[in-house]
Structure formats: C-alpha cells, structure tokens
A and B are shown apart, each in its own frame.
Chain A
Amino acid sequence: MTYSYYPGCTLKTKAKDLDLYARKSAEALGVTLEEIEEWQCCGGVYPQAKDEIATKLSSVRTLNSAKEKGQDLITVCSACHHVLKRVNNDMKTDEDICLRANNYLQLDEEYKGETNVIHYLEMLRDVVGFDKIKEKVVNPLTGKKIAAYYGCLLLRPSSEMMFDNAENPTIIEEFIKAIGGTPVVYPFRNECCGGYITLEDKELASKNSNKVLASAEGKGAEMVITACPLCMYNLQNNGTEHDLPVVYFTEILAEALGVK
C-alpha cells in the first residue's frame, strides 16, 4: 500500500512528533508514505468565498501531484486535511472554481478533483483495519483513560468531510480501543478550542480551551489526544486551568506499536 503524503508546514516545525510517529507507525503497519515533492502550505484555513481562487491554488497543485502519481493522498494534520479535502470537493463540484483554477494553473491535463483525499485515521480504520492494529500492538495502553479531542476541522461540515458522524463520532474512540486504552466520551470533544483566534483574542481561546479540558477531566480522562497542532497549542498553552496531558494520536500509536 503506497500513498502520496502531505505533511504540511507545521509538521516540519512545531509539530514534528505528529509527522515522525505517523511515518514510523505507517512503516510498522506496512503502509508506504511518499511525501509529495515541492509541496506548498495549504493556507491553514479553507477559503469559503466562491470568488477565492488564488488561495486555493497551492492545494490544487498538491492534489494534482498525487493524481499524476496515481496515488491517493494521505494527510495527518486536521487543518491540512480539511483544506485539501474541501478544495478537492470544489474542483469536483464547482464548475466556476474548477475552470478558473485550471485557467490559472495551465496543467498538462486539467485537474477536476480526481484525487482521493484520506485522513491518516481513515487509513487506519478503512485500509489497515482496527482489528489488524490490535494484533500488532506490543505495548497496549491498558487501563489508560484517553479522551479523543476531535475539534472542528475533521468533522465539519459533514456533507463535505464525510469523516464520521459530526455530532457523535466514534473513529478515535475505536482507535483508542485498538491500542488497548479506554476511551472517555465527553460533551466537548467536538467543540472548538478557539483555533487562530489566539492571535486576535487570547481570552476567547483560553475560555474555549479550558471548557474542553474541564469537560474531559470531568469524565475522568487522564490524557487527551488530537490530530491538530493548533488544538494541541491551544489546549496546552491557553487551557491553563488544567494539567491534563495532550499528545498527538500518532505518538501513542507509535508507542503501542513499539516503534517510538
């Protein structure tokens, strides 16, 4: 199983662990990740306006690179996944955006949303299979109460992301079970940490992050896991009323597989 892989800017800098353990775990599970050459930053947020074309082009270049290699595209960062998946959806379904993006890019062959964009967790669930992962676990996280923090970007809008049930998701809880842990379901697992607002209104980011952590702690969580570097930052640095450790899901996967 070989995939095109898009790490994104933050996985090369502040979130190196998210990237490193994704690669190590994939190798242990027999999945080959080939990093897209000369990829560019996705921009971090999906430009929602219908007349935003230039801000979508870097994503189209990435999507087209995977198409040229004939591979599905795997992402790990929630934000990159969100942006790439939704731009891909635009290229597939919005004739005007597709036409204008192609006019600008002048690719050898027009890009029309052919690439399949898959989040790493979807690969674990749908390609490898959680049962198979269970068999490969050498250090199960037995008895560890782990809270999955989905946040916003993996789930919403569900009509485009098609990741899981947006209000009652189960994929990360199933992942936690596969590596031997005990999932903790809590009310705020799909509520926003504040995201980029930390640069505009730190108090708001702090309020939201503390609510998420209080909710997880209230249900007995000993640890929170995430797929997003900005969620990680907000929960750790703006959720200052709580001491709950926050780790990347790839790190505990690597630990369970014995490749950390």
Chain B
Amino acid sequence: MSLSINYKAEAENILKISGVNPKKCMKCGKCSGACPAYDSMEYHPHQFVSMVQDGDLEKLMKSDAVFKCLSCFACIERCPRSVAPGKLVEAVRLAVIRKQGMNRLKPEDIPCMLEEELPQQAIVSAFRKYSK
C-alpha cells in the first residue's frame, strides 16, 4: 500500500523546516566537492539544492542518498553563499522518515549490529538520523 504524496507541499515544508533558500545558490559545486560521502550518494549535495528548488522531490525522497549524509557540516561550513545544503538533506530525510512505517532503523535491528567496542553514541545518533 502506498499513500499518494503531495510533493509540492513536501517541497514547501522542506524549505520551511530547513530554513534554506536555494535561490542563493550560485552552483559552484563546492558543497559536493567537500562532501566525504559524495561517492556513496545517488544525488549529491548541490543536486539536493537544485532539485528542491525545482520541486523535483520524488526522486530525492525515494533515494538512499538521504541516508548517506554524515552530518559532518563540511558543505555548510564551506558554502560561499551560506546556503547550507546539509540542512536541506536533513529536511528531505525527515520528510521521508516522519511518514508512518518509514523508520529506517528499528530497535530489533540493533542486537545483530552490536560489537564489543561500538559506543552508545553511534546507536543514539543513528536512531536520531534514521527513525522517528
């Protein structure tokens, strides 16, 4: 079963909760150049900016790219126009995981991931990023 998603409304909400104004972007690509997860992302930070601006949300929301961001803030620090692409990636991810049944990480997934030295910090951080 899939509910129909109003992508226009999603785009508006994503802009609102991220506080990002994609129109400030001058498409220099520095965000993607600085991104340490670049090779693992189907869509890259600079594409998030232009695709949200164009209302092209469906592809982003269906892509694993939203789960590859490391929240390292390199794109935010290094953007010469203070666009903060990382905030946009986070808002798109929230738009996905806030929907019912869309939690990426579930408590029952954890036991088989545990290793002796894995810090609690990794688990609480992953829950914040991948589940609601």
Residues on A lying within 8 angstroms of B by beta carbon are 8-10, 13-15, 41, 43-51, 55, 77, 79, 152, 155-158, 166-167, 191-192, 194-201, 204, 208, 228-230, 232-233, 236-237
Contacts and interface: CB of A to CB of B under 8 A. Distances in A.
Given A46-B71, A152-B71, 15 more contacts: A43-B125, A47-B128, A48-B18, A49-B94, A50-B16, A79-B125, A156-B76, A156-B77, A191-B72, A196-B71, A198-B122, A199-B105, A208-B36, A233-B117, A236-B117
Chain B interface residue bracket vs A: 35 or more
Contact of A201 (B40, B91, B125): B40
Nearest to A199: B126
Contact of A157 (B19, B77, B113, B124): B77
Contacts of A192: 36, 70, 72, 74
Interface in B76-132: 76-77, 86-87, 90-91, 94, 104-105, 113, 115, 117-126, 128-130
Given A195-B70, A195-B72, A196-B126, A9 B120 contact: yes
B119 A10 contact: yes
Given A156-B72, A196-B129, A77 B17 contact: no
A172 B88 CA distance: 32
A199 B36 contact: no
Interface residue SS majority, chain B? helix
13 contacts: A14-B119, A15-B119, A44-B122, A44-B124, A45-B128, A51-B16, A55-B128, A152-B70, A195-B71, A200-B105, A229-B121, A230-B121, A230-B125
A237 B115 contact: yes
Most buried by A among B36, B40, B104: B36
A229 B67 contact: no
A237 B114 CA distance: 13
Most buried by A among B117, B120, B130: B120
Nearest to B88: A48
Nearest to B35: A192
A45 B74 contact: no
A232 B122 CA distance: 11
Contact of A44 (B40, B74, B117, B121): B121
Contacts of A43: 124-125, 128
A45 B73 contact: no
Interface of B: 16-19, 36-37, 40, 67-68, 70-74, 76-77, 86-87, 90-91, 94, 104-105, 113, 115, 117-126, 128-130
Contacts of B73: 152, 156-157
Nearest to A51: B17
A190 to B, nearest CB: 9
B126 A200 contact: yes
Nearest to B69: A197
Contacts of A237: 115, 117-118
A198 B87 CA distance: 21
Contacts of A232: 119
A117 B131 CA distance: 28
Given A48-B87, A230-B119, A152 B72 contact: yes
Contacts of A155: 77
A187 B17 CA distance: 34
Contacts of B74: 152, 156, 191-192
A201 B68 contact: yes
Contacts of B77: 155-158, 166-167
B128 A48 contact: no
